[in-house]
Amino acid sequence: MALFTPGRRWQPPFFPFHKEKFGRRTLAKIERWIKGPMFGCRMCGNCLLQETAFICPMECPKGMRNGPCGGSSASRCYVDETRPCIWYRIYERAFRMGREEKLLEVLPPLDWDRVGTETWGSVVRQVRKFGTGAFFRSLFSKDKVKKSFAWESVFRPIRQPEWWQGDSQYHAPGYDEPISELERRLRSGNFIVTTEVSPPIGTSTGKLKRDIEMVRDLVAAVNFTDSASASPRMSSMACCKTATELGADPVLQIAARDKTRSGLQSEIVGANVIGVRNVLCITGDNACIGPSPTSNTNILDVDAVQMLWILRKMRDEGTYLDGRKMKEPPKLFLGAAASPFASEPKFQALREHKKVNAGAQFFQTNLIFDTRRLDLWLEALYARNILDKVYILAGVTPIRSYKMALYLNNKIPGVTVPEEILKKFENAKEETHEELGIGIALKIIDDIKTKQGINGIHLMSVGWESVVPRIVKESGLQHPIKPISL
């Protein structure tokens, strides 16, 4: 157990991938010996302790460097239930210390050329560059502005390399006209419906096409999951291509779990070529909840916040992460996942705020079954002044059985099914469960429609696509949509 980090080191520290000079090797060894017992340091080469309330974010099994995943909770990490959620502890300490706003800065992914190397030498070099005497005089100065300037002059170049330059500011989209049908309908001010169609397990597209055609004229967009629950299926990209050919507006889902930064950028350029404009950036379910044998559960190359930052800059500045310019940047309407009930509303609101700053223009929330608790999250978002900067689609699903209700409540990170609903399914006859689930979903939609800050619902059918037309019609949200042509 590290002295200042409330959890044991998740994995052994990294070592350099190439041979370092003797002086740097020695300094790295001393840094590892000191910061290991104190912070559980894994020698990432880009220390963020000053920004994360002096708790190392590398203790998160996913290696999340910009905030918690959607499964964050006060009790435990869902990847390893013997450990606390490190990001919950970071938020908890940051709020207690009054340093929570520092968590809004969009931090870079690891530079694997620096992983395993020392950071202290970089600090010394920056201090010398600023002026050693001037730096230490500023630290003991009563002038807070002068002290902050000196501190940032030394540490910002270390945590924000030239190729990243993240910040904590909101960046409005760099275009005026809506890019996709989904964005156009959201801008119109109408309360909209989106849905998802489950990708097939095999190569046959017959049912996929029938499901798309069935919902196409009823919803603003159709979402295709990216190996949900870490279980492989047809790619979201292939499903999106099928949807564009059928005149539907697709939402490409990209899970950071299976992506590298280079793969992400090339995939987005390709997606634009086939007419995909809506992109939902998510961290993705950890491989631990997927099928065996378990794939890599170590840190992610990029997290959802970093994905948003990269894609926003590709769209608005026409640059790749490595600085190369492109003549025709991709046109993107960027979305992210939101988890209203994962932990405390103020923690979740901070997490959502950071995603909006990074580039999120719309949210699809995790499943909602308790609309009263949803108000607390919306109030926390309002307090952060971001409700006018992002569209929110509330996640709703019809529960088909008591078994499904228990699975959602016990196994899906960030989802809670109230005891009242569980009791209804437990006491009802099995043959009535589907009608009961539809009735509950319709009641939730009625409640959600009245809430300020919610712009529509995202209907997750979970393989029950045939129920979508009925729910859309009976909820009073049926507004025929003309198929789009690209």
User: In terms of domains, do 469 and 429 share one?
Assistant: yes
User: In terms of domains, do 71 and 133 share one?
Assistant: yes
Contact 283, 69 (CB under 8 A): yes
Strand, helix or coil for residue 474: helix
Q: What phi, psi does 251 have (nearest 5°)? A: -115, 115
Q: Which amino acid is at 285?
A: D
Residue 170 lies in a domain: no
pLDDT by residue for the chain (486 residues), tens only, comes to 455 667 666 678 888 888 888 888 899 999 999 988 888 888 988 888 888 988 988 888 888 899 988 877 777 888 888 888 899 999 999 999 999 999 999 999 999 999 999 999 999 999 999 999 999 999 888 888 898 899 999 999 999 999 999 999 999 999 999 999 999 999 999 999 999 999 999 999 999 999 999 999 999 999 999 988 778 899 999 999 999 999 999 999 999 988 999 999 999 999 999 999 999 999 988 777 778 888 777 778 999 999 999 999 999 999 999 999 999 999 999 999 999 988 889 999 999 999 999 999 999 999 999 998 999 999 999 999 999 999 999 999 999 999 999 999 888 878 889 999 999 999 999 999 999 999 999 999 999 999 999 999 999 988 889 999 999 999 998 765 555 554
User: In terms of domains, do 265 and 340 share one?
Assistant: yes
CB atoms within 10 A of CB 128: 11
pLDDT score for 255 = 92
Residue 15 lies in a domain: no
Which residues make Cβ contacts (< 8 Å) with residue 187, sequence separation at least 6? 178
User: In terms of domains, do 208 and 339 share one?
Assistant: yes
Strand, helix or coil for residue 303: coil
Which residues make Cβ contacts (< 8 Å) with residue 325, sequence separation at least 6? 318, 319
User: In terms of domains, do 153 and 243 share one?
Assistant: no
Cα–Cα distance for residue pair 217/485, rounded to 1 Å: 13
Would you give the distance in Å from CA 246 to the centre of its chain?
Answer: 29
| Cα angle for residues 448, 449, 451 (degrees, 5° grid) | 65
pLDDT score for 12 = 83
For residue 250, which of 285, 209, 307, 306 has the smallest C-alpha distance?
A: 209
pLDDT score for 486 = 46
User: In terms of domains, do 447 and 299 share one?
Assistant: yes
What's the DSSP call for residue 319? Answer: B
Cα–Cα distance for residue pair 265/252, rounded to 1 Å: 14
Q: Which residue in this structure is represented by tokens 């905030």? A: 67
Residue 352 lies in a domain: yes
Residue 479 lies in a domain: no
Residue 17 lies in a domain: no
State the CATH number of the domain containing residue 467.
3.20.20.220
Cα–Cα distance for residue pair 415/424, rounded to 1 Å: 18
Environment class of residue 209 by beta-carbon count within 10 Å: exposed (0-12), middle (13-18) or buried (19+)?
A: middle
Count how many Cα atoms sit within 13 Å of the Cα of residue 273 in the half-sphere of its side chain: 7
Residue 175 lies in a domain: no
**Residue ranges making up the domain that contains 213:** 181-474
User: In terms of domains, do 256 and 335 share one?
Assistant: yes
User: In terms of domains, do 202 and 345 share one?
Assistant: yes
Q: Count how many domains the chain has.
A: 2
Count how many Cα atoms sit within 13 Å of the Cα of residue 341 in the half-sphere of its side chain: 21
User: In terms of domains, do 149 and 241 share one?
Assistant: no
Cα–Cα distance for residue pair 160/382, rounded to 1 Å: 29
pLDDT score for 128 = 94
Task: Write down which residue in 96, 127, 159 finishes a domain.
Answer: 159
pLDDT score for 84 = 86
**pLDDT for 141-184, tens place per residue?**
888 889 889 999 999 999 999 999 999 999 999 999 999 999 99
**pLDDT for 343-359, tens place per residue?**
889 999 999 999 999 99
Residue 165 lies in a domain: no
For residue 111, which of 167, 57, 47, 62 has the smallest C-alpha distance?
A: 47
What's the DSSP call for residue 189? Answer: T
Evaluate the CA torsion angle 311, 313, 316, 320 in order and state its sign: negative
User: In terms of domains, do 143 and 190 share one?
Assistant: no
Environment class of residue 40 by beta-carbon count within 10 Å: exposed (0-12), middle (13-18) or buried (19+)?
A: buried
pLDDT score for 290 = 79
User: In terms of domains, do 59 and 190 share one?
Assistant: no
Would you give the distance in Å from CA 187 to the centre of its chain?
Answer: 23
Which residues make Cβ contacts (< 8 Å) with residue 266, sequence separation at least 6? none
Residue 137 lies in a domain: yes
User: In terms of domains, do 138 and 225 share one?
Assistant: no
